[in-house]
């Protein structure tokens, strides 16, 4: 299965940084967010990755390419031990890039994968979302696809107060954490929301979605919404939502990024002790006086 990773958005929730720097390259410890996304795809068995980039996003392409100058520099300056850190990256998978010439929405970005993907089921993962679980979330969705033969959307319950920030699913439970989808609605008001089951950003999709995206009119915020095309898909083919096991980190806004950074640092054996000590000090010095 191939994966499409849209990473061409403007990242307005992270301005001013994103004026000149892609949010998908925001570091979590020592590697960019999109590196973790690719790692999850690879651990799920995917070896063909199409990344949708846009203006100012060429450093994503550079990151997954070889860097002969840097390799040479490390080799001749006694830093050979660092070489695997950078040489492994381009070998993780077969990387392909396509440009979205203006940020017309997630649906438009996914639609650009049509020629590369062809007439097969494929995966979509967001370039600014990291998930952590014993079995990679994409692998969990691929297994559900194997069992059901349908499209599968990763979802989580977000609580009624947050439904207006997400695509929301309506359907009936047909198994453990498995919902047969009747319809989907993008960012509904609390009154309109059919549930609090929210789309999180990992999908296994039927190629029919490409045809549907072509005829999807701009929706919320004037963007081509993937959720609108998925709603149409659910009227034509089997679409399931799956409450995956694991934790999702939205690194696309400042609070989400800060929390992810702290949690990953605490869990990292290289930095955890230091950071925990530091956090305890900060709580004493700063948090208590707030
Ligand atoms: P987001 O909605 O989080 O990205 O899309 P955004 O539009 O850049 O963010 P804000 O709301 O302005 O802060 C999820 C993923 O889809 C990509 C983004 O790069 C992100 O990784 N995306 C979004 C595209 O590739 N193209 C688009 O037109 C929109």
Same domain, 74 and 101: yes
Is residue 127 within 8 Å of 34, Cβ to Cβ? Answer: yes
Same domain, 288 and 182: no
Same domain, 204 and 263: no
d(CA 123, CA 151): 10
What is the CB < 6 Å shell around ligand 1? 6-13, 24, 52, 100, 103-106, 108-109, 126-128, 252
The boundaries of the domain holding residue 279 are 253-290
Same domain, 160 and 198: yes
| 143 class by beta-carbon count within 10 Å (0-12 exposed, 13-18 middle, 19+ buried) | middle
Is residue 157 within 8 Å of 197, Cβ to Cβ? Answer: yes
Same domain, 218 and 283: no
Element at 186 (helix H, strand E):
strand 178-186
> How many CA atoms lie within 13 Å of 147's alpha carbon, on the beta-carbon side?
12
The encoded tokens of residue 170 equal 């309506």
d(CA 183, CA 29): 39
Identify which of 3, 8, 9 to mutate to test ligand 1's pocket (most ligand atoms within 8 A of the CB).
9
Same domain, 138 and 258: no
Identify which of 19, 228, 252, 255 to mutate to test ligand 1's pocket (most ligand atoms within 8 A of the CB).
252
Identify which of 106, 113, 223 to mutate to test ligand 1's pocket (most ligand atoms within 8 A of the CB).
106
| C-alpha of residue 141 to centroid of ligand 1, in Å | 22
The encoded tokens of residue 231 equal 């709603």
Residues ≥6 apart with Cβ < 8 Å to 279? 262, 266
| 109 class by beta-carbon count within 10 Å (0-12 exposed, 13-18 middle, 19+ buried) | buried
Same domain, 269 and 237: no
Q: What is the count of structural domains for the chain? A: 2
Same domain, 277 and 215: no
Same domain, 261 and 247: no
Predicted pLDDT of residue 288: 83
Sign of the alpha-carbon torsion through 97, 24, 221, 195: positive
Same domain, 29 and 137: yes
pTM: 0.96
Point out the residues of the chain with pLDDT beneath 70: none
Q: What are phi and psi of 238, to 5 degrees?
A: -70, 125
Predicted pLDDT of residue 220: 79
The encoded tokens of residue 128 equal 């600014």
């Amino acid at each position: 299965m191939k994966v499409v990773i849209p990473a061409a958005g403007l990242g307005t929730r992270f301005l001013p940084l994103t004026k000149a720097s892609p949010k998908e390259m925001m570091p979590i410890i020592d590697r960019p967010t999109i590196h973790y996304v690719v790692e999850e795809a690879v651990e799920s068995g995917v070896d063909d990755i199409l990344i949708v980039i846009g203006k100012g996003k060429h450093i994503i392409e550079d990151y997954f390419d070889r860097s002969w100058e840097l390799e040479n520099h490390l080799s001749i300056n006694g830093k050979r031990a660092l070489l695997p850190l950078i040489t492994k990256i381009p070998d993780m998978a077969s990387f392909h890039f396509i440009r979205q010439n203006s940020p017309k929405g997630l649906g438009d970005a996914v639609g650009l994968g049509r020629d590369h993907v062809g007439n097969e089921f494929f995966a979509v993962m967001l370039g600014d979302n990291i998930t952590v679980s014993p079995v990679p979330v994409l692998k969990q969705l691929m297994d559900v696809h194997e069992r059901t033969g349908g499209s599968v959307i990763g979802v989580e319950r977000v609580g009624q107060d947050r439904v207006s920030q997400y695509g929301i699913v309506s359907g009936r439970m047909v198994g453990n954490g498995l919902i047969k989808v009747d319809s989907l609605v993008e960012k509904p008001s609390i009154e309109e929301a059919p549930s609090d089951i929210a789309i999180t950003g990992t999908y296994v999709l039927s190629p029919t979605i490409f045809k549907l995206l072509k005829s999807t009119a701009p929706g919320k915020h004037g963007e081509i919404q993937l959720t609108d095309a998925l709603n149409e898909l659910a009227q034509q083919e089997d679409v399931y939502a799956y409450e995956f096991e694991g934790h999702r980190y939205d690194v696309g806004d400042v609070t989400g990024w800060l929390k992810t950074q702290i949690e990953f640092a605490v869990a990292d054996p290289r930095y955890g002790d230091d950071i925990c000590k530091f956090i305890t000090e900060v709580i004493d010095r700063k948090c208590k006086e707030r």
